[in-house]
Chains A and B, each alone.
Chain A
Amino acid sequence: EDKVVQSPLSLVVHEGDTVTLNCSYEVTNFRSLLWYKQEKKAPTFLFMLTSSGIEKKSGRLSSILDKKELFSILNITATQTGDSAVYLCAVPTGTASKLTFGTGTRLQVTL
């Protein structure tokens, strides 16, 4: 059975801190891994990773994939209160490439 596991489940940090969110997976026919940010409504796309070791970067957010160890990390540096959200990791599975989501990591950034 395909599985995506995220850790930690929840995290509270102070503004300015750096955080690392983890996502491990066990899927057959791995193709890609996606990160999403969900605030009050639907998830917004952050990154799609397909190759090991190549960092993707967008502002203070960056992500990298390790296909040998079957995990990805999402880094957020100099966190701001606006980064408070649930961060979801997902992997396309099956012939229809439906997304299997992890449970998410709830990040709260305080002043």
Chain B
Amino acid sequence: GAVVSQHPSWVICKSGTSVKIECRSLDFQATTMFWYRQFPKQSLMLMATSNEGSKATYEQGVEKDKFLINHASLTLSTLTVTSAHPEDSSFYICSARGGGGITEAFFGQGTRLTVV
């Protein structure tokens, strides 16, 4: 299957600082990338959908000013958690999908964010 690389794998940051997470599709062009959040023992919750070159579409209840998503190229999307607080601590996962037809989405390795 296709490879999606997410960086960093884990990060600890101080409350009030911002954290950027990168998601790269290594061997295909990802027209659409998805950002998920997962709390312990819960399923993945979609935060936003981003298409290359356009603004991200956020799910209801997700603050777009807090979770900034940029999808500047067909192989890179970034999620920036601004002014992070302890309640933002979670596992963030990106997935990427190529264009056209019915295709599965491939996941990055995930980023465990801990805000102290």
A96-B49 in contact (CB<8A):
yes
Complex interface: chain A residues within 8 A of B44 (CB): 43, 88, 99, 101
A44-B107 in contact (CB<8A):
yes
A45-B43 in contact (CB<8A):
no
| A-B interface contact total, Cβ < 8 Å | 50
Q: How far is it, in angstroms, between the C-alpha of A98 and the C-alpha of B95 when the chains are bound?
A: 10
A101-B1 in contact (CB<8A):
no
Complex interface: chain B residues within 8 A of A48 (CB): 102, 104
Query: How many residues of chain A get a CB closer than 8 Å to chain B's CBs?
Result: 23
Is B74 among interface residues, defined by CB-CB distance under 8 A? no
Having A96-B51, A98-B34, A98-B49, one finds 14 other A-B pairs with CB under 8 Å, namely A32-B102, A34-B105, A36-B107, A41-B109, A41-B110, A42-B6, A42-B109, A44-B107, A45-B104, A88-B44, A97-B32, A98-B46, A100-B46, A101-B43
Q: Tell me the B residues contacting A by CB distance below 8 Å.
A: 1, 6, 32, 34, 41-44, 46, 49, 51, 57, 93, 95, 97, 102, 104-110
